[in-house]
């Protein structure tokens, strides 16, 4: 398949742009010669600095580019029609503009020229510009014009099929795809099956019928049969898909893609052992196919056959010792199997060759933490760089371990150094540090840290909320309420603060109406948030609105089956006289969270009052 940029690549030899006057009195022959040269100059600037928007799937873009690149001809082969001087002038200006990066203007001009002149070379050039700009509408119109002018040419049919696929007009796309084959071209129907995953079963059934007809008409076209199998599988017609695949394997030489597709179907049918057997046989048949073996290894991992997966990864790394992704997979499997020494060696090797550095550092830190070597764990967590996915989690873990070791000042110094000169990062890391101090029972240090930071960043809402959590931990309701009201004053639509204050008032005071008003404001901002639904239900329960409370608690529990929500749900059921149902809710939650103090307190209190 041709590379994506081929559509706008130059001819093999580039000519320097000749100096030429653009006076309309120039000899027409010279102007035509100049146009010929310009049409052969690459849109090099386009290829380097202007990429089409990422709106096309890989299959579609590849097919489109193949059709366009095939349209390129050498200067000697192009024959131009009769143009007016204005048309030639427009083409010259467009080419010069394109070389300066003015692609949109050039594309618009060439589109108009194509429609006016109906010249094949101009149409092909307009297609190149439209493709470079990702202009789907222009490509569709140009494809229709090209097909009209060259009805026996398969390339415009390919272009049209790709545009209809992209727009979701699959029936039209299939018609043009079939026409490509009729006219002697080639096309991969994977471009179709790759776009139909979100269709309704009814719509997909219509396409299946079309493909079945095409598979009989073009029985030698493997991609049609494969697309048919994929659409049947997408429609969950697994037995029919396997039957089609079996029939195909009897008439066609087995390919790795057939193996992969069969295994995928079997896996979707929850026939895991049969899928593994298919992959195992496939790997034996295509022992040097990397994708097949890699998929087999991953399937083994899904089925928790880690040792067998490790063996497959080892074969892959023996075939390509510098396959760093496979080495990383080996390390992860060793980590899962608790083969820590092997995992450490693999992660360290990856770091030494600048591959998967941050992920490897994080996993090394985790291993040393599991082994009880907290100093090494901290050191590796701190190696993870700012801006990477694991940075914040790593700093949190390193700080937690440092606090656990009693190294509070050292932990604070490290975080301060990281965030120096970066106010947003400083605020973020302060909230992390204060939260960990609170969890470890160092409330006084947390208070000092937050007060100092709020002096530096007054009215910073994240810091205020962190101090609310400190006040909550010390049961300082007055302090929590003051900071929450300050947040709400500055940010009236902060649903987090509205919910927190509302729940606190409902749970710890008798100000139930005030609590309900705050929570209703929060739920209006975040209507599907399970935590806010739970708070709303709790306020309604305190006001005696049991039916409303039960309805909202069921919604909250469905979205977030947390032990706190379960304790509330059970209590509401209990006071409504549905004790057996309440006990079932509590018992189910205790199986997941056996040490839940909230559930145990509710049960003891209600059973005692019975």
Per residue, the 3-state secondary structure of 78-137, as one string, reads: CCCCCCCHHHHHHHHHHHHHHHCCCHHHHHHHHHHHHHHHCCHHHHHHHHHHHHHHCCHH
Tell me the C-alpha distance between 544 and 349, whole Å: 64
pLDDT classification of 42: cutoffs 50, 70, 90: very low
Q: At what angle do helices 374-381 and 391-404 cross, to 10 degrees?
A: 150
pLDDT classification of 352: cutoffs 50, 70, 90: very high
pLDDT of residue 197: 83
Q: CA–CA distance from 435 to each of 401, 403, 480 (Å)? A: 13, 11, 15
Read off φ and ψ for residue 253, nearest 5 degrees.
-65, 135
pLDDT of residue 73: 36
Write the pLDDT tens digit of every residue in 220-275: 999 999 999 999 999 999 999 999 999 999 989 999 999 999 999 999 999 989 99
Out of 50-64, 109-123, 424-438, 553-567, least confident range? 50-64
pLDDT classification of 362: cutoffs 50, 70, 90: very high
Tell me the C-alpha distance between 349 and 262, whole Å: 36
Q: How far is CA 328 from the centre of its chain?
A: 21
Q: Own/partner pairs for 386-393, CB < 8 Å, 24+ apart? A: 386/418, 386/425, 388/358, 389/358, 390/358, 390/359, 390/362, 391/358, 392/428, 392/432, 393/362
Write the pLDDT tens digit of every residue in 313-345: 999 999 999 999 999 999 999 999 999 999 999
DSSP secondary structure of 307-361: HHHHHHHHHHHHH-TT-HHHHHHHHHHHHHTT-HHHHHHHHHHHHHTTSSHHHHH
Residue 249 gets the label, from left (phi > 0), alpha (psi -120 to 50) or beta, of: alpha
Write the pLDDT tens digit of every residue in 496-517: 999 999 999 999 999 999 999 9
Tell me the C-alpha distance between 174 and 213, whole Å: 11
Mean pLDDT of the 44-60 span: 34
Greatest distance between any 2 Cα atoms in the chain = 107
pLDDT of residue 81: 54
Contacts of 177 (CB under 8 A, 6+ apart): 157, 158, 161, 187, 189, 192
Nearest 5°: the CA angle 528, 530, 535 is 110
Q: Identify whether the C-beta of residue 312 lies closer than 8 Å to the C-beta of residue 297.
A: yes
pLDDT of residue 261: 93
Helices (H) and strands (E) in the chain, counts: 34, 0
Tell me the C-alpha distance between 298 and 160, whole Å: 38
Tell me the C-alpha distance between 167 and 162, whole Å: 9
pLDDT of residue 187: 87
């Amino acid at each position: 398949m041709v590379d994506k940029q081929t559509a706008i690549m130059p001819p093999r030899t580039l000519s320097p742009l000749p100096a030429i006057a653009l006076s309309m009195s120039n000899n027409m022959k010279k102007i035509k010669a100049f146009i010929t040269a310009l049409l052969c100059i690459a849109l090099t600037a386009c290829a380097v600095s202007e990429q089409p928007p990422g709106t096309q799937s890989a299959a579609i873009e590849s097919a489109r580019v193949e059709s366009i690149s095939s349209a390129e001809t050498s200067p000697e082969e192009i024959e131009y029609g009769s143009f007016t001087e204005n048309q030639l002038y427009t083409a010259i200006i467009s080419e010069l503009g394109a070389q300066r990066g003015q692609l949109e203007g050039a594309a618009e001009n060439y589109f108009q020229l194509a429609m006016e002149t109906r010249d094949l070379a101009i149409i092909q050039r307009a297609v190149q510009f439209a493709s470079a700009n990702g202009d789907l509408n222009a490509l569709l119109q140009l494809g229709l014009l090209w097909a009209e002018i060259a009805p026996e040419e398969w390339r415009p049919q390919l272009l049209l099929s790709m545009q209809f696929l992209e727009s979701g007009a699959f029936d039209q796309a299939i018609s043009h795809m079939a026409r490509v084959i009729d006219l002697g071209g080639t096309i991969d129907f994977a471009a179709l099956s790759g776009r139909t995953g979100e269709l309704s079963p009814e719509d997909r059934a219509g396409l299946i019928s079309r493909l079945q007809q095409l598979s009989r008409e073009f029985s030698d076209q493997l991609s049609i049969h494969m697309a048919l199998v994929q659409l049947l599988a997408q429609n969950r017609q697994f037995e029919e898909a396997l039957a089609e695949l079996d029939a195909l394997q009897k008439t066609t030489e087995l390919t790795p893609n057939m193996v992969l597709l069969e295994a995928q179907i079997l896996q979707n049918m929850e026939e895991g052992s049969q899928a593994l057997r298919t992959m195992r046989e496939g790997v034996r048949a295509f022992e040097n196919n990397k994708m097949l073996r890699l998929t087999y290894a991953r399937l083994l991992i899904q089925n928790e056959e880690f040792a067998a997966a490790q063996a497959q990864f080892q074969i892959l790394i023996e075939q390509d010792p510098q396959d760093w992704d496979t080495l990383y997979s080996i390390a992860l499997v060793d980590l899962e199997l608790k083969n820590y020494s092997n995992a450490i060696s693999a992660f360290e090797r990856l770091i030494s060759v600048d591959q998967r550095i941050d992920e490897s550092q994080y996993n090394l830190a985790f291993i040393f933490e599991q082994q009880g070597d907290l100093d090494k764990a901290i050191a590796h967590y701190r190696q993870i760089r700012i801006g990477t996915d694991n940075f914040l989690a790593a700093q949190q873990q390193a700080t937690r371990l440092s606090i656990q070791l009693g190294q509070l000042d050292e932990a604070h110094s490290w975080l301060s150094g990281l965030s120096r000169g970066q106010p947003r990062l400083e605020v973020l890391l302060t909230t992390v540090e204060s939260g960990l101090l609170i969890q470890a029972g160092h409330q006084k240090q947390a208070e000092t840290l937050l007060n100092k930071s709020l002096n530096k960043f007054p009215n910073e809402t994240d810091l205020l909320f962190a101090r609310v959590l400190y006040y909550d931990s010390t049961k300082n309701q007055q302090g929590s309420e003051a900071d929450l009201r300050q947040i709400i004053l500055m940010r009236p639509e902060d649903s987090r603060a509205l919910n927190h204050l509302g729940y606190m008032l409902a749970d710890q005071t008798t100000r139930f109406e005030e609590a309900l008003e705050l929570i209703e404001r929060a739920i209006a901002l975040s209507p599907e948030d399970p935590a806010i639904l739970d708070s709303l239900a709790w306020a309604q329960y305190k006001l005696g609105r049991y039916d409303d409370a039960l309805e909202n608690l069921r919604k909250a529990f469905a979205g977030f089956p947390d032990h706190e929500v379960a304790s509330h749900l059970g209590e509401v059921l209990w006071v409504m006289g549905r004790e057996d149902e309440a006990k079932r809710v509590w018992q189910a939650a205790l199986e997941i969270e056996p040490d839940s103090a909230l559930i145990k307190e509710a049960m003891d209190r209600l059973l005692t009052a019975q």
